[in-house]
Structure 1
Amino acid sequence: MARVLALDYGTKRIGVAVTDELQIIASGLTTVTTETIFTFLKDYFEKEKVETVIIGEPKQMDGTPSQSAEAILKFSTKFQKEFPQIPLVKIDERFTSKMAFQTMIDSGLKKKQRQNKGLIDEISAVILLQDYLKYKS
């Protein structure tokens, strides 16, 4: 089997999470600056077999697209042009940042560590990936 990769897209940073090859465990991989994400993905896809990429789809509480939906659409379009062989699946990302922050608190991270926005983005990507794995099974 191949891995599944999850992206928590942001205008400055993108949190990245990945499954193991059996698609059982979701783990944080890294945080990448938005302007370098395609270089990162190209390198990663050359090293690892990836079956699907998951991206968070930002929505308002009423289910309508959020302000960042346009940026996600542009990213998605470019992704499909660059990597047409890899399906890009959008899933609802409401509350992932809040859940990530709560996870940091529950894990006992100190206040200074919880201010690391890159870590929040990476944990958010893990949460997206865990949700996808639950949905898939």
Structure 2
Amino acid sequence: MGRILALDYGSKRTGIAITDELQIIASGLTTVSTSELMDFLKKYIASENVELVLVGEPKQKDGTHSGIEEEIQTFLKKFSEIFPAMKILRIDERYTSKMAFQTMIDSGLKKKQRQNKALVDEISATIILQQYLYNS
């Protein structure tokens, strides 16, 4: 079995989470500048056994796509060109940022730490990954 990688794609930053090789535990990996995301993924996928990539699908409350969807589609096209054999799934990411923020509160992080948007993105990616693992 290979690892599952989850991305919470954003215009500025992308949160990244990963499973263990048995696909049991979801852990936050890092947050990278979206402009550096493809370089990061090339290195990471070359060094780790990744079999599936999950990409958050941001939607409005009414189910329509949010404004960043066009950027995500451009990223997915480029990703598929670089990694043609990699399986990609989209996961509904509605409310993951709110859930991430609540997780930070519940874990006792101080207010200053909760303002770290990179950490929110990483936790959001972890929640996307946990939702996939729970539902599969």
TM range (shorter): over 0.9
Q: How many residues align?
A: 136
Secondary structure of residue in 2 paired with 1:64: coil
Structure 1 equivalent of residue 79 of structure 2: 79
> 1-side partners of 2:135 and 2:19: how far apart?
14
Return the alpha-carbon distance in structure 1 between the equivalents of residues 77 and 122 of structure 2.
Answer: 23
TM-score (norm 1): 0.98
Q: How does 1:1-137 map to 2 (within 5 A)?
A: 1-136=1-136
Residue by residue over 1:67-124, the C-alpha shift from the partner in whole angstroms, topping out at 9 and shown as x without a partner, is 1111111111111111111111101000000000000000000000000000000000
For 2:106, the aligned partner's letter is D
Q: CA deviation at 1:128?
A: 0.1
Structure 1 CA distance for aligned equivalents of residues 15 and 66 of structure 2: 19
| Cα displacement (A) at 1:129 | 0.1
In structure 2, what is the Cα distance between the partners aligned to 1:11 and 1:115?
18
Amino acid aligned to 1:111 = K
Q: Which runs of 4+ in 1 moved over 3 A?
A: none
Specify every segment of 5 or more residues in structure 2 that has no aligned partner in the other structure, as ranges. none
Rounded to whole Å, the distance in 1 between the matches of 2:65 and 2:113 is 31
Percent of matched pairs sharing the same residue: 65
Amino acid at match of 1:51: E
* Alpha-carbon displacement from aligned partner over 1:37-75 (angstroms, at most 9, x marks no partner): 111001001110101000100111111111111111111
CA positional deviation for 1:27: 0.1
TM-score under structure 2 length normalisation: 0.98
Counterpart CA distance in 1 for 2:65 and 2:13 is 20
Aligned partner of residue 84 in structure 1, secondary structure: coil
